[in-house]
Chain A
Amino acid sequence: MSSAMDLEYTAAQSKPKAFYESFERKEELRHQTHYCPGCGHGIVHKMLARAIDELGIQDRTILISPVGCSVFAYYYFDVGNVQAAHGRAPAVGTGIQRSRPGSIVIGYQGDGDLSAIGSAEILHAANRGENITVIFVNNAIYSMTGGQMAPTTLLGQKSTTTPDGRTAEHEGHPLHMSELLATLSAPVYIERVGLGDNKQIAQAARAVKRAVENQVRGLGFSLVEVLSPCPTIWKMPPVEAQHWVRDVMEKTFPLGVFVDRTKESRPRAATNAAPALEEIPRILGTRDEDADAIDDVPALRAQEVDLHVRVSGFGGQGVLLLGEVLAEAGMDAGLEVSWLPSYGPEIRSGTSNCHVRLASSPIDSPLVTHPNVLVAMNEPSLKKFSAGVRPGGWILYNGATLPAEYERQDIRILARDFTREADTIGDPRAANMVMLGALLEIAGTLPQASIDAALRHCVKQPKWIDLDERALVLGRSLCKQFLERGAA
């Protein structure tokens, strides 16, 4: 640069390169942030962007935006960006750091995000000493939502939810997150800084850079709490808000270094990188090498499979296993499948059920409220689900005859005592597989090889596999008999 006097000037302080050249949040104002005039976020953003520039880590930095006014940080930082659910940045950061070792993970959180809804996540991430950096912007109020009390709101401070000022009796004392986290053994660096005047701002910039640098050196968990002005919600002009940070906030939240173990900390060994996506089926031991299964796809797809199956019975009857084998077989055959089991107290001696879908086109919802096949392994299941069966559909009922009140003319009903049938081949507990055999006969689309593979995948013990195979054959023959009788 040169002036009229032919003096040479060079840019010493300019927009950091870690920011995008223009911000594409809206059509207009592509060079401005969305923050209010005098907002501390812009200042902290700038410090962070400068630290990223100076440490030369822009291409491996992943920034996690929170919920709060800074939710749009990803519009400004030209780095990897993830926007986490409210308060979950430390948990998301943990996952990113562990699956992408070598990346620089920076969580950016406000006081509502970090000290209220996300208090558990930050506590445990800090306690694990995750190698991440957390920038905690504390303005002592919920600003984005219009000024409700935050855990960090000062005693006596007015907010929309404490119109007469916060009191210790009713709302408790302000939460000191830095001091709280400093009681843990793992964090390497925790400092509280402010944006109250030039001196504080300079110190804040140093702290932010240091917190990021610790991670670059692999030292572990660093957190910088920044006391930051919110002129809009505090209802103060920007300069007055800045002074309020220094003159008032700082009395409740003293500045300083609470933890510094950077000297004695040893760089941690990076975790192993996450495996490539295509490696995962092999690692999990699911059949991916079965290339022949893929050959079945075009033929099956052409048949337009659309099975909606509800399987229901007592817990312990093998309801979930029946559904799982069906879904696995469908998956092996290259169909779209879903298997949604019921869990928890439901499967402890109560009625257990699962939703299974097999389709040649993508599945919109795994829920099956109107099955085209209902497998009812006991009477309560009939009561619960038989009315929902689609006209033209099937009920397979485990009982010699269908109770009269469930009779319907618009569906087909195969009622047999499948438990007794299973007993004839060796074990009444194989009733679920007899019923699955009948179901497969009705569905008629799945190749036997897929069914065998699914059975071997879901059932581990050889003696059961043998019994289950016989049960499937029996089920098929029972269904065939029924169909022949119907045709005759």
Chain B
Amino acid sequence: MDKLKPDRGLLKIDENECKGCGLCVEACPPKVIRIGDSLNHCGYRAAIYIGAGCTGCGICFMACPEPGAITVFRLVDRRATAVPVPHAQVEGAVSCASN
């Protein structure tokens, strides 16, 4: 892999829940979401992740009006998990990062 740094985030858009409003496309700071070309089962052109560049900021999630159409993932920091830490602290760190 010639890419030195992996993406900090990852995006999953459920094509069948998306209504193609485009608010996530507008909201995304690195502009890595676009409206797809094909129609989903409801007849909407669903948003799609272009596949790279997500920072995991989660703004698209909050801008999206559908409860579960978008899921944002974040890269787990291996330095944090290299040292064994209590489970509760890991959970705390994750929810803190999501705010």
Contacts and interface: CB of A to CB of B under 8 A. Distances in A.
A12 B23 contact: no
Interface stretch (A34-42, A248-256, A466-474): A34-42
Interface string A46-67: 1101000010000000000000
B68 A14 contact: yes
A1 interface: yes
B78 interface: yes
Given A31-B68, A47-B62, A201-B63, A10 B74 contact: yes
Interface string B1-32: 10000100110001011011111011101000
Contact of A12 (B19, B44, B97): B97
A421 B78 CA distance: 101
Given A37-B21, A239-B26, A29 B98 contact: no
B99 to A, nearest CB: 9
B49 interface: no
A238 B23 contact: yes
A1 B17 contact: no
Contacts of B23: 38, 238-239, 242
Nearest to A16: B67
Contacts, number: 122
Contacts of B97: 12
* Chain B interface bracket (under 10, 10 to 19, 20 to 34, 35 or more): 35 or more
Interface in A9-51: 9-16, 19, 29, 31-33, 35-43, 45-47, 49
A36 B44 CA distance: 12
Contacts of A32: 17, 19, 42, 66
B22 A42 contact: no
Nearest to A41: B65
Given A39-B65, A43-B63, A238 B21 contact: yes
A10 B73 contact: yes
Nearest to A10: B76
12 contacts: A8-B75, A9-B74, A13-B70, A14-B68, A31-B16, A31-B67, A31-B68, A33-B66, A38-B22, A41-B65, A42-B64, A198-B63
